[in-house]
Amino acid sequence: MTEMICVGVIAGAFGVRGEVRLKSFTAQADAIADYAPLMTEDGQTEFSIAITSSIKNGMAARLSGISSKEEADALKGTKLFVPRDRLPDLPDDEYYYTDLVGLEVRDTGGTLLGTVKSVQNHGASDLLEIHAPGMKTTVLLPFTLAAVPTVDLASGRIVADPPEGLF
Give the count of alpha carbons within 13 A of 33, CB side only: 14
**Which pLDDT band holds residue 1 (cuts at 50, 70, 90)?**
very low
Q: What is the pTM of this model?
A: 0.72
Among the listed ranges 7-11, 39-43, 123-127, 153-157, which one has the minimum average pLDDT value? 123-127
Residues 154, 111 share a domain: yes
Q: For the segment 40-73, what is each residue's pLDDT rounded down to a tens digit?
A: 998 899 999 999 998 988 899 999 999 999 999 9
pLDDT class of 2 with cuts at 50, 70, 90:
low
pLDDT of amino acid 143: 93
CA-based torsion, 160, 163, 166, 167: positive or negative: positive
Q: Please state the domain count of the chain.
A: 2
Looking at the domain assignment, is residue 129 inside a domain? yes
Domain of residue 69 covers 4-86
